[in-house]
Amino acid sequence: MATKFLAHKNGDSVGVATNDISKNEEVEGVYMDNNQRTNVKAVDNIVLGHKIALKDIKKDEKVMEYGEPVGKATQDIKKGEHVHVHNIRTMRW
């Protein structure tokens, strides 16, 4: 199975698509900090550069990337869903 997303740190809640990902596709990704591999079934189509949820994320939960919070979920997000501006927001304002 070809690698289709990268996660920066083990424990991140999202990975970044390195190729387009199709809905219902089982995809493999790699955690960059330790080379651990993980598989996720995509719930949505996810384009190159966009994020895929690596776990279920509850509404108002911090979204983790780079081992740091990069936003907060505005709704429940299921593992494998597309994560973008429609379901997360910045915590700066």
Q: What pLDDT, in 10s, does the model give residues 44-71?
A: 999 999 999 999 999 999 999 999 999 9
Q: To the nearest 10°, the Cα dihedral for 46, 3, 26, 55?
A: -70
The residues spanned by each domain of the chain are 3-89
CATH of domain 3-89: 2.30.130.110
The model's pTM is: 0.94
Residue 2 is predicted with a pLDDT of 80
Q: Do the Cβ atoms of 4 and 22 come closer than 8 Å?
A: no
pLDDT band per the 50, 70, 90 thresholds, residue 93? confident
